[in-house]
Chains A and B, each alone.
Chain A
Amino acid sequence: MSALEIMDPKMDAGMATTGFKTFEEAIESGAAPIELTIPQLVDVFDHILACEATWQNGHALAQTVFSCLYLLNVDRTAPNALLHAFCKTTRASCSMIRTAIALADIHEEEDFITMAYGLPVEGEGDSRCLALLNTVEEVVARQLRGCKGGLSTKKKSLEDAEPLQDDPALEEGYCHAILCRLRFRKALYHILTYMDKPQGRGLEMARKHILVALSELQNIRSSSAFLSFGQAPDSVVESKERGSTASGRVAIGFDECVNRRLLAPTPPRSISILSWEDTLAYFEKLLQDLDRICSLPMTLGLEEILQFVMDYQKLKPDLFARARLQLLLLHDGKLLGRDPLAIALVKVFNVPQSVMANDHQTQAFTTQAARVTKQLLKIMCTNTAWQRRKLGRILQDWGNLLQQSKVTRDVSIEGSQLGDEVIQTENMLTAWVAEQTCWVVRQFLMLGFQLDLYSLSEFCMVYWYLDHVLLSALHYKLAKESQTTPAIDSPDSVKKKGKKKKGSAALKQPKTPKDGKFMYSVHLLQCYSDLCKGFIWMLTALTRDRKLLHRETIFNTEQERFFQRFDLLHKLMIPAPMSYFHYKDSTSQMHISVKELYQLSYDHFMAVQQHLQELGASAAKASELSAVSRTQLALEVKQMEQVSLRNRVALQIVHQVGPGDNLRVSFEFSQHPCFPVAVVKKS
């Protein structure tokens, strides 16, 4: 597939004959003059920012940031103090961003190429860029004060700075424009350096600079009107397409093709640099996403951290933000850069000290669990598409961990006090692995909705399986909460007990937990479970009622698709594998009428309402929740309310209208990313 035809310009990079062939050629032709007017300089600054945003979105350095001829040789810009300071700081910032992303190592599927291909990403003395920036900022600030004061009097003292440009009427506007860009650049640099400090030591300072950066971004935004004044307004062209600078003019000193030789042999695509509007929006979002990371309390335990990452991802942060988060969470291989994961896990396991110190197998298990958990945390920082695939792949590791937690202990210690503690420990460890595995599987299944992987005909089976996973998760969570050791029976012993198990199942009903901690997560699972059941019965009923049609497919059946979706999960013992036949059996319910099924679905959606109130109450008491998680939870409660309400309305309609295909029902994810709303139309 990589075959090329030489001399076909579509395939042969060397055939592109237009434009400068080398950087030197471009410079000699005057493509990047050092002497720039202030309006031109502002355009250069703007376009550089746009290039940076484009680069971070996954495009080649060579075609974005380093399409700037000034950045290709920063030393050359020394005579122009403003340009020089800005370029040096830009380069230093890009270098830090690139390093952070490379270290986090989650960029594989983002198209982010960390290799520099010989581009001058590092520069001598870049660490002194702040000093340069401060100097020029001071000069411009003085000039601004001067021209503000100078309106009333024409007197100029000898110490006054040179005006930036010729037109005194525009001087103030240009001073403002330059100043806010310099300050933004500086704030951004500070944010990068402070966030780089390990163990979150710099987060508070970083937050301060984020505020500054956001404020300067606002100033930059408001300067657009001034800068674009005089440009012929084009009512046809939307502001988004107007270009990558505030003024709308094309910036001097950029050439996309000059680095052609540094790219892959196949012809580089012409990429489009982000528009000015999109650039501003990108940085605004990035700053907000970074701020959320900075607000992460460094005292969070492992479970709260996992919850935080899951909630943080719902805001769709971009690559650099996620890289920064991952570096914070796992700096030096330790949780938040402090405790080795094994230590953090020991706290979570709550294992008796005597066992931890003496039982070799518990220690081995903890080491293994630490490895697997670290991997999980890293995966949780990748983009959701890749995340789902990786979660699927690590299920094997969690399955192995479960096995490891059940390794039979040394017979000699049985009966002793240590022996009892060891057995209790084993149960706690097994319960922990079981709960975590359910968490991973649940995330795996629910991400499928967010990624729009499931088609309507698959919803029922997915909700059915998801419900099963949620019920398993609930069991282990409640067992932990009530501080009783759950009776972890192996599947073999369950089979042996056979029908007797049915009676003892009642024992496993939720007990009232003593500790209020994490109750919100229990209520959340109950909400999800009821929603799933609501959908299972609604979908089943609608299908039987012919208000929802599933086409026959000629090459395979639902059974194959069930296998494709869930085969991966069948390798696990917990949650227990569920077969297609079980699915069909559970959902056929031919002895129940369609109307009764609608009623059943309605009841489940109604139950959600009740659980949501409990959820709200327990969330309010959950002091351990981070701000991000709290906000997300509040939002999700509202979303689930809407889902519950609207589906009940839809059920009333279909119930009322009578049997048959008199109505068509479709589903839209307008409220909650994983739970849709039924939309009813006349057929």
Chain B
Amino acid sequence: MAETERREADGSAKEADIGRVEEEDSKTSDGAGSGRIEYVSYKDETQLPDIMALIDQELSEPYSIFTYRYFITLWPDLCFMAFHEGKCIGTLVCKMGQHRNTFRGYIAMLVVVKQHRGKGIATELVTRCIQVMRDAGCDEVTLEAEVTNLGALALYGNLGFIRAKRLHRYYLNGFDAYRLKLLFPRPHDANRMLLGGGYSMDPYQMHDCSKLDHDHDQVLFTKATSFSIQVQNS
């Protein structure tokens, strides 16, 4: 659960956390056979009470209205809601901005009500939001998730996030967190993908390891296949 207070006490991370989402692999967004899920982007303040109520209900962190306004007023395009039979059953609150030398999206709060979990709703909300971030020019997207929040980790892992860092005892309950990061492809920067360090080598050169100190080729097939796999029981 989001544990911002302690972090704020020493003036560090200012971002909240996502709520627990017990998410299986992406399933169809059919609401248990009783109505479709409707996804909407945030339009105006009349939707704010719904969002606040949902997050307050599902997450343990108390957020003031100023917190909500901060995110949703500045980045309305990054706020999404999921409706089922007229009721808001899921929401996502994010932001984006310049962070050192990258333009970065950040997922702040993600909630889906318990009864509707496991249906891919969270994945759908996140996917839509990331698309907006990508189209807006973000280089990457990031968030924190508790190490025990397997649902969230699976959700984001499936979308291409890696577990970039581990944050020791990030949460007040003593649990660690991962910082998850998604890097968008950079078509205009293809050369950077080849090598760093000022080497300009042909990418298709077979062994561009500079052979400074070892030879991969040599070690590849040195082992004589004298230990053949014992197919029969031995």
Contacts and interface: CB of A to CB of B under 8 A. Distances in A.
Given A472-B214, A656-B231, A565 B185 contact: no
Contacts of B231: 652, 655-656
Given A1-B8, A655-B231, A556 B166 contact: no
Contacts of B172: 269, 271
A143 B64 CA distance: 61
Contacts of A376: none
B163 A655 contact: no
Given A385-B165, A508-B213, A556 B229 contact: no
Contact of A269 (B5, B165, B167, B183): B5
A607 interface: yes
Nearest to A266: B5
A553 B160 contact: yes
B209 A468 contact: yes
Given A582-B208, A585-B206, A577 B185 contact: no
Contacts of B208: 578-579, 582
Contact of A577 (B157, B197, B213): B197
Interface string A595-614: 00011101110110000000
A290 to B, nearest CB: 21
Interface residues of chain B: helix, strand, loop or mixed (majority): loop
Contacts of B127: 554
Given A494-B212, A555-B160, A577-B195, A2 B165 contact: no
Given A386-B168, A579-B194, A505 B62 contact: no
Contacts of A598: 229
**Interface hub of B65, B160, B181, B218 (most chain A Cβ within 10 A):** B160
B64 to A, nearest CB: 4
A281 interface: no
A422 B66 CA distance: 66
Given A1-B14, A556-B182, A579-B203, A471 B214 contact: yes
Contacts of B167: 109, 385
Contacts of A385: 165-168, 176
B207 interface: yes
A564 B181 CA distance: 9
A267 B8 CA distance: 11
Interface residues of B, number: 69
A4 B213 contact: no
Interface string B165-183: 1111100101010100111
A505 B168 contact: no
Count class of interface residues, chain A = 35 or more
Contacts of B67: 1, 3
Given A491-B199, A567-B196, A556 B62 contact: no
B6 A269 contact: yes
Contacts of B196: 567, 570-571, 577
Contacts of B209: 468, 576, 578, 582
B214 A579 contact: no
B214 A474 contact: yes
A567 to B, nearest CB: 6
B130 interface: yes
B213 A486 contact: yes
A585 B216 CA distance: 12
Contacts of A472: 212-214
B162 interface: yes
A556 B223 contact: no
A458 B182 CA distance: 14
A494 B210 contact: yes
Nearest to B226: A603
A508 B182 CA distance: 40
B34 interface: no
A555 B213 contact: no
Interface string B47-75: 00000000000000010111100100000
| 9 A-B pairs closest in CB distance | A570-B196, A553-B160, A264-B9, A3-B66, A475-B213, A10-B62, A385-B166, A471-B214, A266-B5
Given A453-B166, A607-B223, 10 more contacts: A5-B65, A475-B214, A554-B159, A555-B184, A560-B185, A577-B196, A579-B201, A581-B194, A599-B229, A606-B223
Interface of B: 4-6, 8-9, 14-16, 62, 64-67, 70, 127, 130, 134, 147, 157-160, 162-169, 172, 174, 176, 178, 181-185, 192-197, 199, 201, 203-204, 206-216, 218-219, 223, 225, 227-231
5 contacts: A453-B164, A458-B162, A564-B183, A600-B225, A652-B229
